[in-house]
C-alpha cells in the first residue's frame, strides 16, 4: 500500500485525550480497555517483535529485539522510561505524560513483566509540568493495586545530553547525568549493574497498546516495514508546538497540513529536531515519515520534530543561536565537544554579525567534516548535521552574510526555541 493511501490521521495513543487534564485511571480504562498481557499462548516480547515497533526516542532501534536482549541477560532486570524530552522543539512526550500518564505506566508495568524486571524508573526534567499528573497517576495505581513492579519517579537535570541513555543510567547509579564511555551498554549492564531496558515513553505507550490489541492490530496502519502510528511535534507558519498522531509513512506535507502549518509560507524545514536535518521546501514536500525513507536522504526522524521556518526569519542567526546552545549543552568530556562545538558556534556568530573571514569558513568546513563519530555519544554528530544541512538550506542567507550584508531588512530572529542552560548542574 502506498504511503499516501495510509496517510489519514489516526488516534491510538491520543484516543480519549482531554485537552486540559490527564485521564484518570477509570477514564483511561474506558478509553483503552483493561490492562492485560497478550492473550493465552502469546508472549509480549514476541508480540512486540512481530509488531515491528521501532523506538520513538530518536535512534529507531527495534524495541522487541532490545527487550529480548535485556531479558536474556540476567534473572532480574530493570526498566527505565525516558520521559526527559530534552529536544527543545519536541513536546510529544510531555503531551503523553501530562494527558495519558497511565498509558506510559502500563507500558512500564507490562514490559517489566515480560523481561522479569523488579524495578522501574521514570525520568523527566527537573520541574517538568508533567510531574503533578504523574504523581496523581502513580497514587491512583497504588490505590487500585495495578502494578507489581514498583515505579520511582526521578527529576533529571534539564540538560540536552542528560537524557542520553548511558547518562540516565549513570544518574540513577548515583553519578552525574553525563554520557559515559561505553561499553558496557545499559542493555548489558545498567542500573545496579543489571541489564536495563531504556525506552522512550512513547515507545512504552505503544507497547501497552500492542499488549492489549496484538501485533496484527498494530501493523494494520502505517508503513509496511515500520508500522504503527507516530507522535510528531509540528511548528511553522500557522501553528506552534502542535502534537499530532499520524501513521508512519505519512507524507511530511500531509502531517504539517493536519497540524495547521502553511508550508508555502516557509523557507526550510527542520526534520527530527536539533540532531536532525534541514531540507528545502521542495524536498520537504516529497518526504515521508519513516526511518528508512529519511535515512536514504541523509536525514533522521529523530524525536519526531517538524519545524518549518517562516519566510523572513534569518537562517544564519538561527543556526548561530542553536549552535551556541548545543555547545553550552555538551558534557565537555570529549575533544569534539570541548573544542569543536564552541569553534563552530563562534564562526556562525561571526557570520551572523557580518564579519566573515574566509579562513573561518575553511575551519568551519574542517570541523563539520572531522567531528562526527568522534565523541563518546552522538552529540557532536547531531550538532554537525544540524549546522551542515542548515548552511545548505539557508544558502541565500549565508551568501548575504558572507558579503557583509547581515540580515535582510525586517528579518526576524529568535524563532527557534533555545532554553537557558543550567550551567554546571549535572545532578
For residue 394 the three cell numbers come to 539557508
Binding mask 272-311 for ligand SF4 (x = CB under 6 A): ----------------------------------------
For residue 333 the three cell numbers come to 568530556
Closer to ligand FMN by Cβ: residue 232 or 352? 232
Question: What are φ and ψ of residue 323, in 5° steps?
Answer: -60, -40
Position 213 contacts ligand SF4 (CB under 6 A): no
Q: Please answer whether residues 199 and 81 qualify as being in contact, where contact means their C-beta atoms are separated by less than 8 angstroms.
A: yes
Closest among 25, 23, 112 to 71, alpha carbons compared: 112
Residues 181-200 that bind ligand FMN (CB under 6 A): 198-200
Which partner in ligand SF4, ligand FMN, none is near 248 (CB below 5 to 8 A by kind)?
Answer: none
Position 334 contacts ligand SF4 (CB under 6 A): yes
DSSP code, position 337: I
Q: How far is the CB of 137 from ligand FMN (least distance, A)?
A: 19
Q: How far is the CB of 176 from ligand SF4 (least distance, A)?
A: 11
Residues 139-168 that bind ligand SF4 (CB under 6 A): 161
Task: Give the residue carrying C-alpha cell 540516565.
Answer: 168
Q: How far is the CB of 150 from ligand FMN (least distance, A)?
A: 21
Q: Please answer whether residues 354 and 405 qualify as being in contact, where contact means their C-beta atoms are separated by less than 8 angstroms.
A: yes
Q: How far is the CB of 390 from ligand FMN (least distance, A)?
A: 18
Residues 357-416 that bind ligand SF4 (CB under 6 A): 375-377, 379-380
The crossing angle, in degrees rounded to 10, of helices 25-32 and 101-115 is 70
Closer to ligand SF4 by Cβ: residue 180 or 235? 180
* Element housing 169 (H / E): helix 165-172
Residue 32: half-sphere exposure toward Cβ, Cα within 13 Å: 32
DSSP code, position 289: S
Residue nearest to ligand FMN (CB): 55
For residue 302 the three cell numbers come to 529523530
Closer to ligand FMN by Cβ: residue 70 or 281? 70
Q: Name which position in 164, 245, 253, 318 contacts ligand FMN (CB under 6 A).
A: 164
Residues 251-270 that bind ligand FMN (CB under 6 A): none
Question: Would you call 247 helix, strand, or coil by DSSP?
Answer: strand
Closer to ligand SF4 by Cβ: residue 150 or 373? 373
Residues 316 and 328: their CA atoms lie apart, in Å, by 18
| Helix, strand, coil distribution of the chain in percent, nearest 5 | 45, 15, 40
Residues 349-408 that bind ligand FMN (CB under 6 A): 377-379
Judged by the rule CB under 6 A, the positions of this chain that interact with ligand FMN are 55-59, 61, 82, 84-87, 160-161, 163-165, 198-200, 203, 377-379
Amino acid at each position: 500500500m502506498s504511503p499516501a493511501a495510509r496517510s489519514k490521521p489516526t488516534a491510538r495513543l491520543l484516543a480519549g485525550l482531554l485537552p486540559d487534564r490527564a485521564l484518570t485511571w477509570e477514564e483511561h480504562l474506558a478509553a483503552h480497555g483493561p490492562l492485560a498481557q497478550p492473550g493465552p499462548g502469546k508472549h509480549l516480547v514476541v508480540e512486540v517483535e512481530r509488531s515491528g515497533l521501532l523506538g520513538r526516542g530518536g535512534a529507531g532501534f527495534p524495541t522487541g529485539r532490545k527487550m529480548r536482549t535485556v531479558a536474556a541477560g540476567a534473572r532480574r532486570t530493570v526498566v527505565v522510561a525516558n520521559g526527559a524530552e530534552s529536544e527543545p522543539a519536541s513536546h510529544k512526550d510531555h503531551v503523553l505524560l501530562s494527558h495519558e500518564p497511565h498509558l506510559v505506566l502500563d507500558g512500564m508495568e507490562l514490559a517489566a513483566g515480560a523481561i522479569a524486571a523488579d524495578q522501574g524508573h521514570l525520568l523527566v526534567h527537573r520541574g517538568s509540568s508533567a510531574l503533578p499528573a504523574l504523581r496523581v497517576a502513580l497514587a491512583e495505581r497504588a490505590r487500585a493495586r495495578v502494578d507489581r513492579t514498583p515505579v520511582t519517579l526521578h527529576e533529571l537535570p534539564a540538560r540536552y545530553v542528560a537524557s542520553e541513555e548511558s547518562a540516565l543510567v549513570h544518574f540513577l547509579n548515583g553519578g552525574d547525568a553525563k554520557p559515559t564511555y561505553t561499553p558496557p551498554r545499559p542493555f548489558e549492564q545498567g542500573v545496579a549493574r543489571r541489564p536495563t531496558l531504556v525506552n522512550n515513553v512513547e515507545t512504552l505507550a505503544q507497547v501497552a497498546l500492542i499488549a492489549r490489541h496484538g501485533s496484527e492490530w498494530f501493523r494494520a496502519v502505517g508503513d509496511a516495514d515500520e508500522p504503527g502510528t507516530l507522535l510528531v511535534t509540528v511548528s511553522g507558519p500557522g501553528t506552534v508546538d502542535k502534537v499530532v498522531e499520524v501513521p508512519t509513512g505519512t507524507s511530511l506535507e500531509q502531517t504539517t497540513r493536519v497540524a495547521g502549518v502553511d508550508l508555502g509560507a516557509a523557507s526550510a524545514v527542520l526534520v527530527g529536531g536539533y540532531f536532525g536535518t534541514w531540507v528545502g521546501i521542495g524536498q520537504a514536500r516529497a518526504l515521508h515519515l519513516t526511518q528508512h525513507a529519511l535515512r536514504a536522504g541523509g536525514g533522521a526522524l529523530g524525536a519526531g520534530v517538524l519545524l518549518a521556518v517562516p519566510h523572513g526569519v534569518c537562517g544564519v542567526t538561527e543556526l548561530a543561536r542553536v549552535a551556541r546552545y548545543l555547545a553550552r549543552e555538551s558534557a565537555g568530556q570529549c575533544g569534539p565537544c570541548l573544542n569543536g562545538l564552541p569553534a563552530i558556534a563562534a564562526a556562525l556568530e561571526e557570520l551572523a554579525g557580518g564579519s566573515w573571514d574566509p579562513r573561518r569558513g575553511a575551519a568551519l568546513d574542517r570541523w563539520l567534516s572531522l567531528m562526527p563519530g568522534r565523541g563518546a555519544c552522538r552529540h557532536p554528530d547531531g550538532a554537525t548535521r544540524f549546522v551542515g544541512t542548515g548552511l545548505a538550506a539557508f544558502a541565500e542567507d549565508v551568501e548575504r552574510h558572507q558579503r557583509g550584508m547581515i540580515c535582510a531588512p525586517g528579518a526576524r530572529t529568535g524563532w527557534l526555541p533555545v532554553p537557558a542552560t543550567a550551567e554546571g548542574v549535572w545532578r
